[in-house]
Amino acid sequence: MYSPLAHRLDLLVQRYREAILTKRLKPGQEVDFEAEARLQNIPLPLMRACFRQLANMGLVELRSKGRAVVRTNNIQSLQSLEFGLTRRRA
């Protein structure tokens, strides 16, 4: 069943994942996702869910006070991420 909220979350995760993988968000860079939510007019619970998914993918490390740090990605973590994304699409 189609859920607009789930679709919006998927798009948000995809946008940040691509920003990390293309190094627009650099390893070690801190992201204040609470401020990002305000700037982009995105509900904070949706932004938190997005960064939780990114953390589960191994792309960010969650910190306190609405912050996350972009992790340094090695080949194995990127390959496992790609494998997981490929399985999800199938």
Tens of pLDDT along the chain (90 residues) come to 568 888 999 999 999 999 998 889 999 999 999 999 999 999 999 999 999 999 998 999 999 999 999 998 655 566 566 655 555 554
Q: Which of 9, 89, 77, 83 is nearest to 49 (CA)?
A: 9
Q: So where are the chain's domains? A: 4-89
What CATH number should be reported for the domain whose range is 4-89?
Answer: 1.10.10.10
CA 45 to chain centre: 13
Helix, strand or coil, per DSSP, at residue 69: strand
pTM given for the model: 0.79
Q: Which of 51, 76, 53 is nearest to 63 (CA)?
A: 51
